[in-house]
Amino acid sequence: MRFIVILVFLGILASLASAFVYLMRDKGGSNRTVNALTIRIGLSIALFLFLLFANYMGWIQSTGIGLRQ
């Protein structure tokens, strides 16, 4: 479980870094920056939904950090 989350998170960071590189190189001349940011948003939403699903299925447990009882 931890490996999947770390792998997707690294993919999100790589997509963000590539968008920055495309932004600096292309100076707005192509859609590569937009495509990289679209991939980043898709991976972020997929990771969020996966974590919600994993919590629902009981694969991960909430620690309750920050919650008062």
Name the residue ranges covered by the structural domains of the chain: 2-57
Map residue 37 onto helix, strand or coil: helix
Output the pTM of the full model.
0.81
pLDDT at 6 over 80: yes
| Predicted pLDDT at 12 | 96
pLDDT in tens, 11-68: 999 999 999 999 999 877 789 999 999 999 999 999 999 999 999 999 888 777 765 5
